[in-house]
Each structure stands twice: as C-alpha cells, then as structure tokens.
Structure 1
Amino acid sequence: MQIADLGNVQLHYRIDGDSDGAPVVFANALGTDLHIWDAVLPLLPEGLRFIRYDTRGHGRSSVPAAPYSMGALVRDAEMLLDHLNVRDCVFVGLSLGGMIAQGLAVKRLDQVRALVLSNTAAKIGTAKMWQERVDAINSNGIASLAEAEMGRWFSPNFRARPELALWRSRLLQQPEAGYAGCCAAIAGTDFYTPTSGLRLPVLGIAGDRDAATPPDLVRETIELVPGAQFQLIRKAGHLACVEQPEAFAKVLGAFIHDIGHPSGTA
C-alpha cells in the first residue's frame, strides 16, 4: 500500500502500467475509491503510467475533520503530483474527481496537459441539496443514502446484476465524515467562470442514464472550453467507467492517442 504523507492529509495511491510512460492520473467520484477504474485500466493503450488515488476522506486515505473545501481537494491533488514528480499528465476525473480536475488545471497547467471530465460539471446540484445529504448521514448514517445512490450510479439493467452488491458494499465502507466533508466541497463549488478560461485539450464523457449529472449538464460544462470533445456512453449511469468499461476505455484511449500523449519513455 502506497501512502503519500502530505502533512495535513495522507493519500493512498497506486501506480500501474509502464513506470517510464507518460502519466495518466485518475480521481474518483464521491462515495467511491480508486477501484472504480479497475476494469478500465487493462483496456487502455500500453506504455502509459497510470496513477490512481483515493480522495481525502475516501478509501484508504486519511479522514481530516469535515467539512472540506474544493480548494483543499485541489491542493491535495497538486501536492500528490508534486510528490510523485508528475508533469504534463492527462487528468481523468469522474464527478467529484472531475471538479478537482477543473480546479487543478486552472491552478497548475504545468501538471496538466489535458483533461477528461467524466460525469461531472462545473457546478453540481445546490447547496440545499448537499446539506440535506449531510444531514441524512449525520442522522441515519451513509446506509440511509445507499438505495438512492445506487439509482444515481447505475442504469436499471446494472442494478439487476449481482455486481450491484459489491458497489453498495463499497459505498457503505466509505468513512461517513469523508463523504460529508466532500459534500460540503461540492456544495461550495461553481467553476463556470474559471473553467471557461481553460485552453487545453478536453474530453467530456456522459452516461445516457446518469441521474446525478445528466448528459446535458455535462455537455454544458464541456462547451465552456473551445475545441473540447464530448462523448455519450449508452446504457451507463453515473459511474460510466464501472458500467461500460469497454466503451469508456475506447473513448479515453482514442483521446489519449489523438492528443499525442506519448507512450513508452516520457
């Protein structure tokens, strides 16, 4: 298990692929951990270095006292990449991870050469909605959100499959303080103006059955950046990389190829 001690937070991370390859960094969604990328990585082009990490308060990363700010989550990513001497990466973020990606690109263009914004937006939901979710956790625990979360994460077809139990279990294993802390970060974030100032390659990915960040919301954010691409993955909910890993890997791999992100020795 690899842990980066960044002072006020300790982040669990994992590196796969070619140790000399160009870096591709992955940031997870609210209520998940780095395992959401398990099925995608083996399908991506060889010769790349894949770096995954658990957002603070999730997985095996530490759980600082809530609430968190988006600035703190962006700073975590920035410090981790500095710790690993990463520059010019393709940064792939899903949902909460996609918001972190936007903030990091605005702050550190030396670290990020391209963005993949999956099932995310410049602004997600309302402060009232996120406070209600925090209140539910504080009153009844994260289990009280599980049914609704599965409905947002996955299409009806996936919810009928045995694998659903695994993802429900992974949600229930997430620290409640970490989940609530990240809810506060999302509630306080509106990246419409900073994201509209970005000028770098961007790929947006949406799931046609996503009840959390519907395709039109994702597209609205992607269109803020001139020249950005948008891809819709069919038969996929919010966790498109879990539900349709082959389709996800296909569009991600094509984007990496199209922007000339080198494989092999970086």
Structure 2
Amino acid sequence: MNILDLGETHIHWREDGDPAGAPVVFSNSLGTDLRLWDKIVPMMPPGLRLIRYDTRGHGLSACPAGAYSMGALIRDAERLLDALAVKDCVFVGLSLGGLIAQGLAVKRLDLVRAMVLSNTAAKIGTAQMWADRVEKVRTHGIEAIADGMMERWFTRRFRETPELKGWRAMLTGTPVDGYTGCSSAIAGTDFITPTSGLALPTLAIAGSDDGATPADLVRETADLVRGSRFHLIRGVGHLPPVEKPDDYAKVLAGFLHDIGHTAG
C-alpha cells in the first residue's frame, strides 16, 4: 500500500509495470476507486510505468469534510506526479478523472504529454443538478441514488451479471463527504474555454449507452482540442473499462503506440 502524505490530506496510489518505463496515469470516476482499471492494467503493452491513484474522498485516500474544488483535485494529482518524479505522462481520466486531466494539462503541460478523455466532458451537468444530488445524498445516503447510477453506468446485459453487486457496493461504500465533495467540484467546473486552448495528442472515448456523459457530449469535448481523435465503444455504458475491457485496452494501446509512448 502506497500513501503519499500531503499534510492536509493523503493520497493512495499504486504502481504496476516497468518503473523505468514511459508513464501512464489513470484517474477514476466519481463513486469508484483505482480498481476501476483492474482489467485494463494487465492488458497494457510491456515497458510502461502504470500509475493509479484514488481521488480524494474515494478508496483509501483521505476524505476531508466539506465541498472540494476542482483546483484541489487537480493539485492532488499534480503533487502526486511531482512526488513520483513523473514527467510527460499520458493521463487517462474517466468522467471526473477526465476533468482532472483537462485541468492538469492546462496547468502543467510539463507533466502531461497526451491525455485520454474517457466518458467525460469539459462541463458535466448543471450546477442545479449537482446541488440536487448532493442534497439527496446528504439526506438519504448514497443508497438512495445507487440503482439510478447503475443504470447510467452499465447496460442492462451487464446489470444482470453477478459482477454488478461489486460495483454497486463500491459506490455505496464511498464516504458521503467524498462523494458530495467531488460532486461539488464537478458542479463548479466549466473547462470549455481552457480546454479549447489545448493542443496535445488527445483520445476521447465514449460509450454508446452512457447515461451520464452521452457520446455526443464526449465528441463535443474532443472537438475542442486540436488534432484529437474520437472513439465510440458500442454496447457499453459509463464505465467501458469494466464492461468491455478488451475493446478499451485495444484502443488505448493503439493510441499509446501511435503517439510513440510505447516501445516498438
């Protein structure tokens, strides 16, 4: 277990692959933790340094009380990469992680040479939508939104498998302060203008049945970044690394190869 002590908080992280390899950093979505990438990591090409971490308020990272700002979440990622002496990584962010990717690329282009914006957007939802969700979770707990979230996250076929129980448990096991804190960060984020100023290799990945960040929204965000590419994975919801890991790993590995981030 690796814990980075940042003083006012701490971040849980994990490293796989080649410690001397080109770095790829994975950032999880709201209501999940670094296990989101469990199926993907073993399918990555050899020779890569694969770093995952739990966003604050999730997994084994600290869960400060109160609303979080997107700036704080970006700063957590920045300080983690600085502590691990990471430069020129490919930053792979899903949903909330995709917002962190955009903000980190704007702030510290020395850290990010390319990004993968998975099932995300430059602006996700409305402030009122997030305020309503925060109030519901604060009042009734995450259990009150769990079934609806499973419908957004996964297709009906996946929801009929035993694996769904594990993901539902991960969501409902997220601390309320962590879930609502990160929800507040998303509510206050609009990266349309800063992201439109980026020009770095970018892959946007969408799921055809994503009920949280529909494919058209992901495509619109991809179009903000000059030279980006867009890939639609059919038959998946909001978490394609879980539903169709083979397809996800293939398109990710292809992108890494095309931008020269892998050997051979």
Q: Assess same fold via TM > 0.5.
A: yes
Gaps of 5+ in 1: none
1:1-48, CA deviations, whole angstroms, 9 ceiling, x for partnerless residues? 100011222000000011111000000000000000000111111110
Task: State the distance in 2 between where 1:193 and 1:169 align.
Answer: 37
Partner of 1:2: 2
Aligned length: 264
1:47 aligns with 2:50: no
Partner of 1:67: 67
Superposed, which structure 2 residues align to 1:216-255 within 5 Å? Answer: 216-255=216-255
Q: Secondary structure at the match of 1:36?
A: helix
**Paired residue type of 2:38:** D
Superposed, which structure 2 residues align to 1:98-117 within 5 Å? Answer: 98-117=98-117
1:97-142, CA deviations, whole angstroms, 9 ceiling, x for partnerless residues? 0000000000000000000000000000000110111101111111
Task: State the distance in 1 between where 2:122 and 2:152 align.
Answer: 18
The structure-2 alpha-carbon separation of the partners of 1:263 and 1:15, relative to structure 1 and needing over 3 Å to count, comes to: farther
Asked if the contact 1:22/1:263 (under 8 Å) is kept, the reply is no
For normalisation by structure 1, the TM-score amounts to 0.98
Task: State the distance in 2 between where 1:104 and 1:227 align.
Answer: 19
Task: State the distance in 2 between where 1:137 and 1:211 align.
Answer: 19
Task: State the distance in 2 between where 1:91 and 1:7 align.
Answer: 24
Superposed, which structure 2 residues align to 1:18-97 within 5 Å? Answer: 18-97=18-97
Task: State the distance in 2 between where 1:214 and 1:138 align.
Answer: 26
Q: Secondary structure at the match of 2:79?
A: helix
Q: Secondary structure at the match of 1:76?
A: helix
**Paired residue type of 1:133:** R
Superposed, which structure 2 residues align to 1:164-203 within 5 Å? Answer: 164-203=164-203
Asked if the contact 1:92/1:115 (under 8 Å) is kept, the reply is yes
**Paired residue type of 1:111:** L
Shift in Å, 1:262: 3.7
Percent sequence identity over matched residues? 64
Asked if the contact 1:213/1:238 (under 8 Å) is kept, the reply is yes
Runs (4 or more) in structure 1 with deviation over 6 Å come to none
For normalisation by structure 2, the TM-score amounts to 0.99
Task: State the distance in 2 between where 1:182 and 1:217 align.
Answer: 20
Gaps of 5+ in 2: none
Partner of 2:160: 160
Structure 1 vs Structure 2 CA RMSD: 0.9
Structure showing greater relative contact order (alpha-carbon pairs closer than 8 Å, 6 or more residues apart): 1
1:121 aligns with 2:124: no
**Paired residue type of 2:69:** S
